[in-house]
Amino acid sequence: MNISKFVAPEIIFGRGSLSQIGESVLRIGASKIFLVSDSGVIEAGWVDQAVHYLQAAGLETEIFSALTSNPKDCEVMEGVRRYQASGCDGIVAVGGGSPTDVAKAIAILASNGGTLPDYEGINKISRPLPPMVIAPSTSGAGSEVSQFAIIVDTARKLKMSIISKSLVPDIAIVDPELVQTMDAKLAAATGLDAFTHGIESYVSLAATPLTDIHALKAIQLASRNLRRAVADREDMEANTNMAMASLTAGLAFSNAILGATHAMTHQVDGLIDQHHGETNASILPFVMEFNLSACPERFRDIAEAMGEDVTGLSLVAAAQQAVVAVRRLIADIGLAKGLGDIGLTEEFIPLLSANAMKDACLVTNPRPASQEDIAEIFRKCL
């Protein structure tokens, strides 16, 4: 018997929905809130707004914002210390993938003890986490609905994938107003990350009809709105559609998992401190080419979801059209560069490839990949 599961939090979506955060936290039973964010989101004024709504609901808050752009284990450890000293009984994150994943990692260690590598992989968390509400300020990570937390292990210089149902927050508040304050470069990188989540979950070995709906919707929305959202940061229709693209991609990959692109990206991200979405842009087309023979029908669907006319083309030609369209999208949003352009050289490839083989995301890649296959793809990405 084929059994599939689909997990998702309560989702509140729409412009102005951050105003629901106080009432949401009251419903999950918390009284003092540990609010995780970062300096950019504070500068944009969203943390002040969130605190205003939380205080209006009678809730105390403690803010933790000592974070960098790629969430690191040392930042999590400091957060755990602060959480435990604060007397807080609930966690809220307002921010992009870094604050949200750090919030989740703090929740793991505060309730389960140990260190983060103890939970690396799938379903290693045994005790319940503090209640969590997440409001994303970027359209990319999908962490507000996902069972993933991705944290840099600074000693091993790689990103750990921690995947567990208990990491799905209780409530996701997706307010497209928040994403409008991203600059164009961040909009491009985060949007390409969301798009990559849609592609990888659609061709994943763990895809189901329920994840397919969300993956295809994410691909469709991102391919029609990402260029606009990058070109004009005031375009609220594009911003709202990208917020929905990120949300639907999050629902898809949380349940279908990802593939070789993310297994490889996680290793590069641990080594070079650039945005995860930019690394995806350098790797995704090459992984699509590698995977194409395993499921050409799926890649033809992707081409169609991206608005490509595949009438009259053979199955393989239609599938290849998806790769062409992805390369065009990446170029149009200014992310077409190789891993060599960011300082990666041949000498790193054996270690990166060996570590990618251990990444949980590789398990659901549609085509089996050996370490040499991964190394060869890395070489093409340079």
Report the interface residues with Fe ion, using CB under 5 A: 193
HEC readout, the chain:
CCCCCCCCCEEEECCCHHHHHHHHHHHCCCCEEEEECCHHHHHCCHHHHHHHHHHHCCCEEEEECCCCCCCEHHHHHHHHHHHHHHCCCEEEEEECHHHHHHHHHHHHHHHHCCCHHHHCEECCCCCCCCCEEEEECCCCCCCCCCCEEEEEECCCCEEEEEECHHHCCCEEEECHHHHCCCCHHHHHHHHHHHHHHHHHHHCCCCCCHHHHHHHHHHHHHHHHHHHHHHHCCCCHHHHHHHHHHHHHHHHHHHHHCCCHHHHHHHHHHHHCCCCHHHHHHHHHHHHHHHHHHHCHHHHHHHHHHCCCCCCCCCHHHHHHHHHHHHHHHHHHCCCCCCHHHHCCCHHHHHHHHHHHHCCHHHHHCCCCCCHHHHHHHHHHHC
- Please identify, using beta-carbon distances, which residue of 193 and 301 lies nearer to Fe ion: 193
- Please identify, using beta-carbon distances, which residue of 38 and 101 lies nearer to Fe ion: 101
Cβ atoms of 273 and 72 closer than 8 Å: no
State in angstroms the smallest separation of the CB of 278 from Fe ion.
11
- Please identify, using beta-carbon distances, which residue of 138 and 225 lies nearer to Fe ion: 138
CA distance 37 to 204: 32
Cβ atoms of 98 and 71 closer than 8 Å: yes
CA distance 65 to 181: 18
- Please identify, using beta-carbon distances, which residue of 110 and 381 lies nearer to Fe ion: 381
State in angstroms the smallest separation of the CB of 196 from Fe ion.
6
Pair type for strands 121-122 and 90-95: unpaired
- Phi and psi, residue 92, nearest 5°: -120, 135
State in angstroms the smallest separation of the CB of 5 from Fe ion.
21
State in angstroms the smallest separation of the CB of 175 from Fe ion.
21
- Please identify, using beta-carbon distances, which residue of 279 and 320 lies nearer to Fe ion: 279
Residue nearest Fe ion by beta-carbon distance: 193
Give me 51's structure tokens: 């605190």
- Please identify, using beta-carbon distances, which residue of 49 and 161 lies nearer to Fe ion: 161
CA distance 199 to 201: 6
